[in-house]
Structure 1
Amino acid sequence: MIENLRKYPGVIIAALVAVFIGFLLMDSQQYFRNGGGGSKVITVDNVSYDEGEFNRIGPASRALTQQLSSYQAMTMYEFSMAMADNKAASEDALEKSFFTRRILLQRAGKQFGIEPSVEEIQTFIRERSVFAETNPTDPTKKSFNKEGYEGFILNRLGKSGMSEKDVYQLVKDVLTYEKLSELLAIGISVDKEKVKALYQANRQKIGISYANLKLEEFSKKLTPTEEELKKYWEERKDSYKTENRRKFSYVVGTPKYPAGAEKAPTPPTAEPGKPAPEPSEADKKINEQRKKAELEVAAQMDDLFTHLDESKGGSFEDEVKNLGWELKVTDLFSSTTMPEELMKLTPRKTDKTIEQLLFTLKVTSDPLSKFSNYLAIGEADWFVARLDAEEESRVKTYEEAKDEVRKQWIEEKGREEMKKAADEAHKKIKEAIAAKKSFADAAKDAGLSSITIDPFGNGENPAGHPDAQAFFTAAQYTNPGELTEVVTTADGSAVALVDKREIVKDPNFDSMLSGGVDQTKRSIRIQAFQAWINERYELAKIQ
């Protein structure tokens, strides 16, 4: 551990080492942990976690982090970015990675003696979260939106199966990240002059002349033979595959509200500065009736699963019929051709879509593995599905893939021809300009037409020039009178010349530069933390 820390500038200081040694043996969690109920779905360094723990610490908290991020809550956003796994190839991998990285961060907090207090957590919520509202007349002043916070806890958080305790733990992890990233970045300095040069490059205005080469002009001349297409397909046929298709039987359990209680009553409106009044007795009665109906349908779904467990799934049709529900059966469909009635269903206790839940279902020798969990959907409905049939993805035959193969062959060969032409045109125009010819004449001699853009800045899109920002990026550090490298445009390539460069004077430049230096420091902190957490993640034993 101590050897690993030497890789991070500034971390090897006596105080940190002393703290680390003092807390090294405190992480008894991985050896003496009271596990929650339910089957274990993930193990990190010999510590197992069940589905509820995984969802709470992983997917649900990841979604919560996104909900609590905003322009006014940048620390939460920064945390979500620092914890992101850029190598994750799927949504499942992202969720697994986020969960594991939080576990590793929590352990590191104990090891390094970073234990944010309840008071620090509450201060963050009051002063640095999305619930800390900025005074529009005085941006330096903020006020805590207590009603908004309490409403979020009571009305929105519960739908994801979480509580205020989970918010506190998330904020604790954010504060741990903040302190640890500062330690990891100690000793790494920011070159203010380089930041200044970067800001000046982004604040300039540049005038451009350019000549386009359209990909379409090269592609339309290509007529591949059958032999060429077959050879192209043979060399990369594994990339041409059919979609995985699945067929399901499913049921949606909906509460049966009594007459008069079909619609929830509108909550009474609070007057400014006063608490919301109590609902009327009639509204209270309706709410009670609705709650009873919702509990009944939840209990029915629970009973359905109990009977399915007893019959190993064999009684599905009979149980659904006994409940008076409608069993629906789909045809085979892929993740991109889902039936509309399924697309409309919205799970309420997970951030996954129905499509993700159905197509990540893994079938084993257990008959019950063909069933999804029963899912809370919509406002109060419940859903369960059984996988009836599957057509797995396979490599397409040549005839099935032929149109796709032809399209890709033409585009690829067209780009090759266009690149040759663009490089040749760039060379000719450069030589002509060196011989004192104008760009317009040089482009004409190369068989191209010249187009001019008046000076424009970073982020500006002059009318009629959709690729202006590509030109700006290519020209940022090119001297006036010189060509940029060949520019890739939306529909081809271009040869571009910098006509002029204008430095934009801004009275707020110094404050902007100061902000840029701070932003660079934040970036360094994030990068130092990511290097550290990535190494920890690679070394972790995850099953």
Structure 2
Amino acid sequence: MRKYTGLMVVVFVLLGAGFLFTMNDIGTGSGVSGGSGPTVLEVHGQSIDQQSYSRMGEQTLQLCSEAGLHNYINFLMAPDAQQMQQALQLGRFGYNYFTMMRNNLTAVELNRFVANRIILKRAITEMGLYASEDEVTEAIKSLPTFSSGGKYSEAAYTLFAEKRLGRMGMTERHLRDLVRENLCLNKLVNIVGGGLAPSRSATQDMLEAQMQTVTLAKVTFQRDDFVERENPSEEEVKAYWEAHQDAYKTDEQRRISYLLLTLPEDADEAATEDDKAEAEPKNEEEAKAKAQAKAAEETQKRELRATAAKALTRQIQELYDSIIESENEKLPLDFKAIVEKHDHQVTESELFTRAKLPAELQGLTLRGSSNQNRPLSEDIFKMKKSDNAYNNVSAPLPVGEHGWVVFVLEEVVEPELLDYDAARAKARAQLIGENATEKVKLAAEEARSAVLELMKAGKDFDTAVREKGLTPVQVGPFASSTPPQDEPSAQQLHGIAAGLNPGEVSEVINEADRSLFFLVEKRELEDTEENKLRVDNAVQGAEMDLMIRTFLNWINHQYQKAEVKAPAV
């Protein structure tokens, strides 16, 4: 120490300077850097350098995602009410908004998130919003990331604090400050949008229109009847093909490597009836005992299956975390090695089309309300091939009852144009289909106009329809919540009928396979306590929707006032 005193003084000065430059981060008042490095974003005239931008942007998003602060992301990321609703749905069903979107986030979206964080901090200061240490502690205990069996787990929190926070470049102070921001954000949403009430009468009218029962008399023209009458000439088919050549191509092909994790089928489901056959109970007491034992067995099986499903979810998340860590460490993507590290095997497919996926993926759909049973093939074929290997990795996709899929897009073979001989059959079928569609629409319009003329002359709907050689079919009475099974468009018909009076005829409704119109015979509303309760719930839902929309309008206005600039973008 005596020999190198001068050198040590220099080192301590440099360490002190570094400490000063890194003090101002996510946990400080503005979250803006003290000027280290070039400016990548400017908000309210304040400059944000790359280090602070990364800390306030991607690192914060990752921390929010892993801690379960989904709504914090949603409120500061979603640009409008529609995307906010989608994000809330994802959060409601346990999906990680940032994990699902991280490879698709644009610079504009990250800029908006970082800028909105600064806007939020200013609003918290200006409005004097505050969350105590006790509130923060209780909020952390309520986060699902730190719970086990529905109760707060100190072990889960300790593991997260010791293993996950450091890898993200965060500390417990960052987590507490972020939770405090989230609590203040919730208070801000209530201040900005709370107290606004939608019109109860308008909400009630809208809901009653949905709850009422309707009885219809329907006249239908089937498209297939018109298809059978079409017989275009060869010249017409060739002219149609020449005008639409771009529509006739080979099918796009793709090749992927993937991991599919599923639970084995329940053994009872595969058992035969003979296997399940049991002797009849001798008396009521024995029957009751057997029923109780069977119920207990079923409960145990459900619990075991639920536990196994949770373990499966943890496995896929841990594996995906490894992919993210590999990307963060700037390593070349080795999907196979990462999967093998987690004791699984990658499956490598041959080239396939959208209609013919690998056998074990064929027919798989995504579960969850937001996914609406979307076919897995849609996600595989909508991904764009990127030079960045990590952008070719999908998010964990929930499939089937409990399964998960992660895939890597390896190769894309683009479609090629077909010549006339190869495209002729398809072009002819499409020409016939288009001609039939136009003719069925025209026939329905002409029939409706003729029926209305006869009704003006004093004839009822049934008589007027039959005079035109048509047959009306009664549909209902039915409510939107109890549509008839033999009417595939019952919900749509109910919605149209809700805007008509009894005795009025609808406009022509054109669908893919038919055209139709109908007469509203009856509209009735049953006055029940259940319906009154539904009105109350609808009013509460409308209040929440109005509050969220008002806050989004407010923060978008604040974003415009902040004069956000991003010279690097």
TM over 0.5: yes
Q: The residue matched to 1:429 in structure 2 has which SS?
A: helix
Q: Is the 8 A contact 2:115 2:564 kept in 1?
A: no
> Counterpart of 2:503 in 1: which secondary structure?
coil
| Residue identity opposite 2:200 in structure 1 | K
- The 1:495–1:386 alpha-carbon spacing in structure 2 relative to 1, beyond 3 Å, is closer
Indicate if the aligned counterparts of 2:213 and 2:477 stay in contact, CA closer than 8 A: yes
Q: Structure 1's 489 and 362: CA in aligned 2 closer, same or farther, altered over 3 A?
A: closer
Alpha-carbon distance, 1:434 to partner: 2.4
The equivalent residue for 2:351 is 332
Q: Distance in 2 between matches of 1:429 and 1:374?
A: 55
Please point out which of 202, 206, 213 is paired with 1:198: 206
Residue in structure 2 matched with residue 474 of structure 1 by the alignment: 496
Q: Cα distance, 1:476 vs. partner?
A: 0.6
Q: CA RMSD in A?
A: 6.2
SS for the counterpart of 2:352 is coil
The answer to whether structure 1 residue 426 and structure 2 residue 428 are counterparts is no
- CA displacement 1:385-426 (0-9 Å, x = unmatched): 794x65234455555554444444333332221221111111
Structure 1 letter corresponding to 2:206: L
CA distance, structure 2, for counterparts of residue 197 and residue 437 of structure 1: 33
1:52-106 deviations in Å (ceiling 9; x for gaps): 748726987899679x9xxxxxxxx996546799xxxxx7699526766654543
Q: 2:141–2:152: 8 Å Cα contact kept in structure 1? A: no
Counterpart in the other structure of 2:62:
56
Tell whether 2:216 aligns with 1:216. Answer: no
The equivalent position to 1:148 in structure 2, one of 141, 147, 150, is 150
Deviation (angstroms), 1:501: 2.0
Aligned counterpart, 2:262: none
Is residue 462 of structure 2 the alignment partner of residue 440 of structure 1?
yes
Mapping of residues 261-410 of structure 1, within 5 Å? 330-334=349-353, 337-340=356-359, 360=383, 362=385, 364=387, 387=410, 390-410=412-432
For 1:112, what is the secondary structure of its paired residue? helix
How far apart are residue 244 of structure 1 and its match? 4.4
Give the CA deviation at 1:448.
Answer: 1.5
* Corresponding residue number in structure 2 for 1:287: none
Partner of 2:340: none
Gaps of 5+ in 2: 1-27, 39-46, 75-81, 91-99, 166-170, 260-314, 337-343, 365-370, 399-404
Candidates 501, 506, 510, aligned match of 1:484: 506
Tell me the secondary structure at the aligned position of residue 209 of structure 1.
strand
- DSSP 3-state at the match of 1:483: coil
In 2: Cα distance, 1:206 partner to 1:375 partner: 45
Closer/same/farther in 2, CA of residues 102 and 426 from structure 1, 3 Å limit: same
Quote how far apart the aligned CAs of 1:444 are.
1.4
Alpha-carbon deviation of 1:247? 4.9
Q: Which of 92, 106, 115 in structure 1 is aligned with 2:117?
A: 106
Secondary structure of 2:150's counterpart equals helix
User: Aligned partners of 2:246 and 2:433: how far apart in 1?
Assistant: 19
Contact 1:202 1:476 in 2 (8 A): yes
The partner residue of 2:32 within 29, 32, 35 is 29
Q: 1:273 corresponds to which residue?
A: none
Kept in 2, the 8 Å contact 1:245–1:333? The answer is yes
Structure 2 residue aligned with 1:96: 105
User: Aligned equivalents of 2:205 and 2:392: distance in 1?
Assistant: 56
Alignment size in residue pairs: 419
How far apart are 1:333 and its partner, in Å? 3.3
Alignment of 1:498-537 (within 5 A): 498-531=520-553, 536=559
Conserved 8 A contact 1:211-1:450: yes
Q: Are the aligned partners of 2:215 and 2:477 in contact in 1 as well (CA < 8 Å)?
A: yes
- Give the aligned partner of residue 274 of structure 1: none
Structure 1 pair 420–124 and aligned structure 2 pair: CA distance change class (3 A):
farther
SS in 2 for 1:427: helix
Greater Cα offset, 523-532 or 335-344: 335-344
Higher relative contact order (CA 8 A, sep 6+): 2
Aligned partners of 1:482 and 1:384: how far apart in 2?
54
What's the counterpart of residue 482 of structure 2?
460
| Distance change in 2, residues 1:330/1:112 (3 Å) | same
SS in 1 for 2:519: strand
* Contact kept in structure 2, 1:82 and 1:526, CA below 8 Å: no
Quote the residue 1:207 is aligned against: 215
Q: 1:507 & 1:217 partners in 2: Cα distance?
A: 47
Would the alpha carbon gap of residues 436 and 360 (structure 1) be closer, same or farther in structure 2, given more than 3 Å must change? closer
Rounded Cα–Cα distance in structure 1 between residues aligned with 2:112 and 2:215: 47
Partner of 1:29: helix, strand, or coil? coil
Cα distance change of structure 1 residues 442 and 109 upon mapping to structure 2, 3 Å threshold: same
Is the CA contact (8 Å cut-off) linking 2:36 and 2:49 kept in structure 1? no
d(CA) in 1 for partners of 2:406, 2:534: 53
Deviation at 1:505, TM superposition (A): 0.9
Residue 483 (structure 1) shift: 0.8
Amino acid at match of 2:217: S
CA positional deviation for 1:148: 2.3
* Amino acid in the other structure paired with 1:440: D
Q: Going by fraction, where is helix more abundant, 1 or 2?
A: 2
